[in-house]
Amino acid sequence: MELSTRRMEQLLQIGRELSAAADLELLLDKIVTSAAEMTGSQVSSILLYDDEAVALRFIASFGAGEQSLQAIPVPLEKSIAGAAFLEKRLVAVRDAAKSARHFKRVDQVTRITTRSILAAPIIYREQALGVIEILNKIDSTDYNGEDATILETLASLLALALENASLESIIEKIKEETQRLDKMKTDFIAITSHELRTPLGLILGHSTFLREILEDEYHDQLDTIIRNAMRLKEIIENMTSVDNAQTGTAVLRSRTVSVRKIIEETTEKCHPEARLKKLHVRTALGQSELLIEGDSEKIGIIINNLLKNAITFTNEGGHITIAAEQVPGYIKIAVSDDGIGIPAKDIAHIFERFYQVESHLTRKHGGMGLGLSVTKMMVEMHGGRIGVESVPGKGSNFTILLPLDSAQAEATGKVFIT
């Protein structure tokens, strides 16, 4: 049976409101009210399936005291709503008093005598979620085809609303869990970096002192201790940098500095580690001092982390190049290697905290996945940007653009990545 124009417009309006509204409780109230008004019914209700009770429970009602209904579990086998739910079809009963499936407990609680009832299952992707039902036509006539169409349409709209609410709830729980894990990471970083700093300082101090006073035969062992302690020191410094950035305590101490000098000094410090792997490290800096307004310590960390990353993931005998030049408004720095490269699926994630490209690479090369994250933060603190191009098996090329001065940084924005 075709719907009247007025009722069709009402259903369309409800559909629009369902898509726009965010409060599920208001949506349910709107639907039960509309179901009663559009079908001329005394009562309308929405029931959802309760897994634990293996029954239906009222979650919204019009004309029958919702609070008293919520405590009543409606059995699936001995109720008309249960029949609609189990059989996934519209169920109409003209005389409820003569129906063996009429659940009289609801009548006793509400003190409303059910004469006739029409129940439609709420189905989403072939799964029954619950039932919407209407009771007692006010004019004492039977429910007709138009009433059935209205109720089934409302049931379909309700299925979408419930599924959206379920998805939103899941998303909210995921967000909460993500925030909880993020806080755990932050707390771990702060506590660990603080607690390790003092004992590590003692290890470095005493091992350096012992190297000066002991015979040459012990120097190799002490060098191993110092080298690994310095590696641990770098990890702690990276953790501290992450913690400072997250807590907002990181400060950019800008002054005019020479990028050329920073690259040369950092490269010199990394030469011993590069020589152990027989790597060929070269710089391409031209003749300019490459002056920039920035924090020399943080720019040093940027260069150091990228250079260490290249050394770590370049096989013995490989090549690493550090190039820098001035381009309009920026100093462009590039650190390239012919190492193992980065898989395409990992490119978008390598600047995330604790992200490891491959578990087997982590076991082979070590690291906590903080170096590139810190590098990105330091670059963005300068108002710059960082990008990477990589081909697995052929190497990687990290490119950084640092604004020449604070005015350029403000003009380009503080946080962005290519």
Enumerate residues 6+ apart whose C-beta is below 8 A from 397: 334, 335, 336, 337, 388, 389, 390
344 CB neighbour count, 10 Å cutoff: 10
pLDDT of residue 167: 64
pLDDT of residue 348: 86
Q: Which two tokens stand for residue 169?
A: 């709830």
Comparing 309 with 406, the larger pLDDT belongs to: 309
- Compute, in degrees rounded to 10, the torsion defined by CA atoms 359, 360, 362, 366: 150
Q: Which two tokens stand for residue 107?
A: 């009548």
Q: Which two tokens stand for residue 94?
A: 């003209």
State pLDDT tens for residues 142-198.
999 889 999 998 998 888 888 877 666 666 777 787 778 777 777 777 777 777 778
Q: Where are the beta strands (DSSP E) in 115-274?
A: 117-124, 127-137, 255-258
Alpha helices in 277-384 (DSSP H): 296-312, 359-365, 371-381
Query: What is the mean pLDDT of the segment spanning 230-240?
Result: 75
- Compute, in degrees rounded to 10, the torsion defined by CA atoms 211, 214, 220, 221: -80
Of 197-211, 281-295, 390-404, where does mean pLDDT reach its minimum? 197-211
Query: Any bridge partners for residue 335, and if so which?
Result: 322, 398
pLDDT of residue 211: 86
pLDDT of residue 66: 61
Give yes or no for residue 227 having a pLDDT over 90. no
Give yes or no for residue 249 having a pLDDT over 70. no
State pLDDT tens for residues 66-89.
667 878 899 999 899 999 999 999
Query: Taking the model in full, what pTM does it have?
Result: 0.50
Q: Which two tokens stand for residue 376?
A: 């990105």
Give yes or no for residue 414 having a pLDDT over 60. no
Give yes or no for residue 121 having a pLDDT over 90. yes
What is the pLDDT of the chain when averaged over all its residues?
A: 83
Comparing 417 with 207, the larger pLDDT belongs to: 207
Q: Considering only CA atoms, which of 259, 261, 254, 289 is closest in space to residue 410?
A: 254
Query: What is the mean pLDDT of the segment spanning 233-253?
Result: 69
Residue in the block written with tokens 């590098």: 375
Cα(48)–Cα(30) distance, integer angstroms:
16
Residue in the block written with tokens 């580690």: 273
State pLDDT tens for residues 384-411.
999 999 999 999 999 999 999 866 666 6
CB-based contacts of 402-406 (< 8 A; 24+ apart in sequence): 402/259, 402/292, 402/294, 402/299, 402/330, 402/331, 402/333, 403/292, 403/293, 403/329, 403/330, 404/291, 404/292, 404/293, 404/326, 404/329, 404/330, 404/331, 405/292, 405/293, 406/254, 406/293
381 CB neighbour count, 10 Å cutoff: 21
pLDDT of residue 311: 93
Give yes or no for residue 134 having a pLDDT over 50. yes
User: Could you tell me if 169 and 74 are in contact, meaning their C-beta atoms sit under 8 angstroms apart?
Assistant: no
- CA of 230: how far to CAs of 104, 225, 227, 371, in Å? 79, 9, 5, 15
Q: Which two tokens stand for residue 211?
A: 């190297």
Q: Considering only CA atoms, which of 13, 56, 6 is closest in space to residue 157?
A: 13
Query: What is the mean pLDDT of the segment spanning 125-138?
Result: 91
In this prediction, residue 26 has a pLDDT band, given cuts at 50, 70 and 90, of confident
Give yes or no for residue 291 having a pLDDT over 80. yes
State pLDDT tens for residues 357-373.
654 444 455 555 678 88
- Compute, in degrees rounded to 10, the torsion defined by CA atoms 283, 284, 285, 286: 140
Give yes or no for residue 335 having a pLDDT over 80. yes
Q: What is the 3-state secondary structure (H, E, C) of 29-60?
A: HHHHHHHHHHHCEEEEEEEEEECCCCEEEEEE
User: Could you tell me if 333 and 324 are in contact, meaning their C-beta atoms sit under 8 angstroms apart?
Assistant: yes
Give yes or no for residue 42 having a pLDDT over 50. yes
Cα(317)–Cα(261) distance, integer angstroms:
26
